[in-house]
Amino acid sequence: MTGKKYSFEQIEKKNLRTFDPKVSLNSNSTFRFNAAMCRDYELLELPYAALYFDRESMAIAFQFLPSKCPDAFTVSHKSNRGSVAAIAFFRQEKLDSRDYKGQYTPELYDDPDLGKMFVICLKRAENN
């Protein structure tokens, strides 16, 4: 033992992953919105989402809606989280969700014509 003195403080156990809004895409073509995103943007009150796709930038925009509109996806809510099954989108665009699975940080974007939406840019997963 050395004569050195330490001033330790106990580390609090916290789940830091839930502090930042995130969108995850799994290999089953489902987008998941974490608890932080649902809480921060009050998404649990919005049961539908319109999805938009910019093919050139591989960007997907989610516009959460209080009522159903044509082509809106149903948002499933469970345990303060949300999800959208987007199998039809991936089939239509001939994309394999396994190639893009992972976690994304959404950008809040205010489209001049469509309004407020959350945007992620799909990128190829490193370990397919």
CA-wise closest residue to 117 among 43, 55, 57, 56: 43
12, part of any domain: no
Contact predicate 62/49, CB 8 Å:
yes
The total number of structural domains in the chain stands at 1
96 found inside a domain: yes
For residue 74, give its domain range: 20-121
Mean pLDDT taken over the chain: 92
Quick check: is 102 in a domain? yes
- Residue 100 resides in a domain: yes
Verdict on whether the full-model pTM lies above 0.85: no
Give backbone dihedrals phi and psi of 71, rounded to 5 degrees, phi first: 70, 10
The C-alpha atoms of residue 15 and residue 80 are separated, in whole angstroms, by 15
* Predicted confidence (pLDDT) per residue in 5-46, tens digit: 888 888 777 665 568 999 999 999 999 999 999 999 999 999
